[in-house]
Structure 1
């Protein structure tokens, strides 16, 4: 990057920070008691937001609306849905206003993110966490929506669902998992789907144990890159005794190594009860790397020394079939079986 351009970019970003509301820099911590939002029921109205990247094609937005209707729900578009500002779905204030509006709207039962991308962290200072905390509703999404999941866990005090975005494919596996958690208030045990390849030994659906055993704790996590980008901010919950679940996409092993090192140096990894690494899509080394580490080797180096149950290969991440994890709820993992079991419902 040109040095002058870099200095201009940094200066501009600093000016943007100065414009953020001062009140947002003072966190308002929720009570210690976890609140469960109401479960979804057929006929409920759900809000559609784009807190990060945009979907501005009418055909694609119609498909999203029909997907929500196919769930038996009624979609309600946020005021700025379909807008575009560069690679973002509108300005930071407009995207934040949509989130605030959906949590203030008494007719809206839950809030679905249409897609991820990048931009959720930019709207955190503009969110009305007092109003959000006073109106607990399921937030559903993954990828960049991790920033909202973690901020809600830190400052709103109710469960959210790390699961498919509204614009995701919603195959049978994903839909069944979501319905069990969000509609039926079940406490399922999630495992990787059995592979159906024409092989003597299946490759798909395999898990790898880094340290055996079972562990229970509060489920916290999401996209690794987004989580690391929130380090040092007031929008991260306390990870002490938590089950950390992480995934990523398009990150070569050395970057995963760098981010896990950051979590270790920040003291996060050392406070965990257990770790689950889901799917890392397109995370192989860039080009020939005969002397490099594989992803599994990087995970082994970081997770095995923790001496807490840890495994790789759970069905969540940037994949077509993924489970719905209740962020903030207590869960138990079995590192040898490769399972995640909710210990309490995500909804009331």
Structure 2
């Protein structure tokens, strides 16, 4: 493996689990990477990783670092309140020079804002504390996908659709913009200058701690706002960490999926290995992709010059979730 420069910074919530932070840094260094830690990575102000100005400055330093990967320490909450202050031109220049900005959850706000303001692509993927610093160790597929990114090999991902899910056949989708991320964060940007106007896109979504009725309400918001009608496909990742209520009476996540399928023309795929779960593929937010289904296997394929991931050569260890 080629040694890569990885810059760790904290644009959202404060790092509360220092052991996870240390484990993550140690794991990356054990892979041979040069890990640079932002001066404010462990700062704390209220629930945030430093006050707003501190976190904006951290993003600017990440953009100026020349790193191969700018990796968010964690999600939480914090990016929405600094969207007006992010140095978008500097971030876009960094991406153009080859820096891959990687994160998820609250990081969705940054990713969608960068896409809306600059058209540049970032990567939905692991965070330092939750993934590289996980007590059980990083998931093998997540680690393999991250290796593909840093080595410049990643050109796509595939997964097996859930057995119970009957998906009507559709023609392969070519040349669509992949975008999305955390559903609640994405909905919070509707009507703002930081919500990308993506037509004929592939929209992927995940969330944690949201009951299916809340997921349905957010999907309804996107439908009523005309967003879903403009997509070529909707891909649902993992929706976890919620409890069914006694009065649901059979209303569940599958109910929400079936209703969505009855309301929009675009195919709705499920089972994408992405979300607040150990197994995460890396996805280029703002990248141009092809989407196809063969039997029970779904494939998302992108070019090799996306969001800081350059010098790619074909390479694949597809099989389970990658």
2:102 to 120, 140, 154: 140
Aligned to 1:160: 122
Return closer, same or farther for 1:206/1:103 CA change in 2, 3 Å cut-off. Answer: farther
**Cα deviations by residue, 1:264-295 (Å, 9 ceiling, x for unpaired):** 1111000001010011012342x302435211
Match of 1:174 among 142, 145, 164: 142
**How big is the shift at 1:67?**
2.3
Q: Which blocks of at least 5 consecutive residues in structure 2 are unaligned?
A: 311-322
**Matched-pair contact (CA < 8 Å) for 1:284–1:295:** no
> Residue 302 of structure 1 corresponds to which residue in structure 2?
260
Greater C-alpha radius of gyration: 1
Residue 311 (1) aligns with residue 279 (2) = no
> 3-state DSSP class of the match of 2:210?
coil
Structure 1 residues 208, 70: closer, same or farther in 2, change over 3 A? farther
Deviates more, 1:306-315 or 1:249-258: 306-315
Select the residue among 20, 40, 62 that pairs with 2:22.
62
- Please give the TM-score of this superposition, normalised by the length of structure 2: 0.85
CA contact (8 A) 2:41 2:73 kept: no
Residue 200 of structure 1: aligned partner: none
Structure 2 Cα separation of the partners of residues 282 and 246 of structure 1: 15
Distance 2:243 2:299 in 1: 26
Q: d(CA) in 2 for partners of 1:93 and 1:236?
A: 22
Equivalent pairs counted in the alignment come to 295
Matched, 1:254 2:210: no
Assess if the C-alpha contact under 8 Å between 1:249 and 1:280 holds in 2: yes
Please give the alpha-carbon distance, in whole angstroms, between the structure 2 residues aligned to 1:188 and 1:57. Answer: 32
Q: How far does residue 340 in structure 1 lie from its aligned partner after superposition?
A: 3.0
C-alpha separation between the residues in 2 aligned to 1:284 and 1:211? Answer: 30
- Matched residues in 1 for 2:31 and 2:110: separation? 23
Query: Structure 2 CA distance, aligned partners of 1:322 and 1:173?
Result: 7
**TM-score if structure 1 supplies the norm length?**
0.79
Aligned-partner Cα distance in 2 for 1:48–1:161: 15
Query: Is 2:37 aligned against 1:77?
Result: yes
Any gaps of 5 or more consecutive residues in structure 1?
1-40, 194-204
Q: Residue in 2 aligned with 1:237?
A: 196
Equivalent residue, structure 1, for 2:173 = 215
| Residue pairs, 1:30-69, within 5 angstroms | 42-69=2-29
Q: Deviations over 1:156-178 (max 9, x none)?
A: 33221111111214221111122
Specify the SS of the correspondent of 2:25: helix
Give the Cα separation in 2 of the matches to 1:162 and 1:278.
Answer: 12
Matched, 1:126 2:88: no
Answer whether contact 2:209 2:241 (CA < 8 A) is retained.
Answer: yes
- The alignment's C-alpha RMSD in Å is 2.0
CA deviation after TM superposition for structure 1 residue 104, in Å: 1.8
**Contact (CA 8 Å) 2:116, 2:196: kept in 1 or not?**
yes
State how far apart, in whole Å, the 2-side matches of 1:207 and 1:190 are.
Answer: 18
Per the alignment, do residues 209 and 307 of structure 1 end up closer, same or farther by CA in structure 2, a change over 3 Å counting? farther
Separation (CA, whole Å) in 2 of partners of 1:56 and 1:254: 31
**2:59 paired residue number:** 99
Secondary structure of 2:273's aligned partner: coil
SS in 2 for 1:191: strand
The verdict on how the C-alpha distance between 1:44 and 1:178 changes in structure 2, with shifts beyond 3 A counting, is closer
Q: CA deviation at 1:181?
A: 3.3
**Residues 4, 150 of structure 2: 8 Å contact kept:** no
* 1:307/1:54 CA distance change after superposition, 3 Å: same
Shift of 1:97: 0.8
Deviation at 1:207, TM superposition (A): 6.7
Distance in 2 between residues matched to 1:289 and 1:211, nearest whole Å: 31
Aligned CA distance change for structure 1 residues 255 and 338 (closer, same or farther; 3 Å):
farther
After superposing the two structures, state which structure 1 stretch, 150-159 or 179-188, moved more.
179-188
Shift of 1:138: 0.7
What does the per-residue CA deviation read over 1:202-238, in whole Å, with 9 as the maximum and x for residues that have no partner? xxx6572454323231110000000001111111212
